[in-house]
Amino acid sequence: MNSVEGLVTQIQGLSSSASDVLSLHNVLKQADDSLHAESTRLLPFLDQLDPSKHSLGYLYFLEACTAGPVTTESASSFVLIIARFITSCAADQIRLAPDKFISVCKRLKDQVLFLEEPLRAVAPMLSAIRKLQSSTENLTTLHPEFLLLCLLAKCYKTGLSILEEDIFEVDQPRDLYLYCYYGGMICIGKKCFRKALELLHNVVTAPMSTINAIAVEAYKKYILVSLIHHGQFSTSLPKYASTVAQRNLKSFCQPYIELANSYTSGKITDLETYVHENMEKFGSDNNLGLVKQVVSSIYKRNIQRLTQTYLTLSLQDIASTVQLNSPKEAEMHVLQMIQDGEIYATINQKDGMVRFLEDPEQYKTCEMIERIDSSIQRLMTLSKKLTVLDELMSSDPMYLGKVGRERQRFDFDDFDSVPQRFNI
């Protein structure tokens, strides 16, 4: 009792300046175990602390409070308390104890999932990310949690706003895999297939020493999204993918690769029979919706192929070539594609002829200039970062060791003996 009260007064006293906060941090670290021991009685003490001023102390108390199992009554009250804390806490104080903050946020996620109201935690989690990040290029452990909440709550737009930022630093590799995987799913939900492909590609080609389940699931979705977006899929992974991935991923995703093969053959009936046969497999992976989108995209692909051969075509001919049932359906498909900007065409209603046009972009507008200019700026910052990374890599002892070992002992232009191993 005394220790807790004493702790409270200390927190209230020592939360004003930065040096005080540091000493308070040490005190709290030592008192952590005693706090955890008295976790059930800590709730009333929380009212004595102000979350915006005494953020660090509040955090420790809160973490100890919520350490216990989740029950319905405790869940609803805790959700409110944690949400309020996150929105009002001071960022610099909580950055001193990031893992405690992360565990508190995870508890929030567990509680809202228990209550089946994921929407309640979306906004607090977003502000938590902003407070924990050292910069917008930093990926924290909270990012994938946030994206998971967005997925479950079906508010994809907030998720997309986080995905717009470029990530350059990652704390934990598992964060990256989960982040990109969930991010890919959100983009699929919003039908931005290009960005989804990019994110899933990141998971599949990320450095990994052993194969993990996230990469396998991501690879399955990657195949499907690649079919929807590009109309083709190549099984070879780029050389920056880890060798583990290059060797093993394909064996886990065999049905999907066969689906891709029958897609590229272009015969719709074959594709549909194949899908029908393997329905349970796709269903067990929760990919049935995507597979259905793949099947509908094959019509689009075939119509696009027509634009390369014909200048004008009647709707009847389109329907028969693409194996649609009626010209009406063909017209609907073509209209939808024109609206989405996938082809450029005009439909003449009188005689049912479709004329395929060229891309009307003339590259003469000021908006195009701004687009290219901003891309160039982005490339420049990226290029600078890459050169820094390259230099870091060249001086990395692991790299030097491996390269030195393979080098010939005597080079023909210098006769200094090259050490076989770099002793560092």
Nearest to 159 by CA among 131, 118, 219: 118
- Find the shortest distance in angstroms from Cβ 251 to other proteins: 16
- CA distances (Å), 323 to each of 30, 186, 258, 267, 349, in order? 73, 32, 22, 9, 21
Among 66, 141, 202, 242, the residue binding other proteins under the rule CB under 8 A is: 242
Counting contacts by CB under 8 A, is residue 424 touching other proteins?
A: no
Question: How many CA within 13 A on the CB side of residue 351?
Answer: 6
Region of 50-58, 83-91, 273-281, 393-401 interacting with other proteins (CB under 8 A): 393-401
Tokens read off for 338: 């024109």
Among 34, 173, 258, 399, the residue binding other proteins under the rule CB under 8 A is: 399
Region of 113-121, 129-137, 308-316, 399-407 interacting with other proteins (CB under 8 A): 399-407
Q: Which is nearer to other proteins, 154 or 247 (CB)?
A: 247
Binding flags for other proteins, 150-189, as an x/- string (CB under 8 A): ----------------------------------------
- Find the shortest distance in angstroms from Cβ 422 to other proteins: 12
Q: Which is nearer to other proteins, 48 or 246 (CB)?
A: 246
Cα angle 230-236-237, degrees, rounded to a multiple of 5: 90
Tokens read off for 217: 């699931």
Among 406, 413, 414, 416, the residue binding other proteins under the rule CB under 8 A is: 406
Q: What is the DSSP string of 267-296?
A: -HHHHHHHHHHTHHHHHHTT-HHHHHHHHH
Residues whose CB is less than 8 angstroms from the CB of residue 167 and which lie 6 or more positions away in sequence, other chains included:
137, 138, 139, 176, 179
- CA distances (Å), 219 to each of 143, 286, 348, in order? 21, 14, 43
From start to end of 161-216, where are the E strands?
169-170
- Find the shortest distance in angstroms from Cβ 402 to other proteins: 5
Q: Which is nearer to other proteins, 23 or 387 (CB)?
A: 387
Judged by CB under 8 A, the chain residues 199 through 218 that form the site for other proteins are 207, 209
- Helices within 314-362 (DSSP H only): 315-321, 327-340
Q: How many CB atoms lie within 10 A of CB 228?
A: 23
Among 408, 413, 417, 421, the residue binding other proteins under the rule CB under 8 A is: 408
Binding flags for other proteins, 363-392, as an x/- string (CB under 8 A): xxxx-xx--xx-xx--xx-xx--xx-xx--
- Find the shortest distance in angstroms from Cβ 383 to other proteins: 5
β-pair partners for 345: 356
- Find the shortest distance in angstroms from Cβ 317 to other proteins: 37
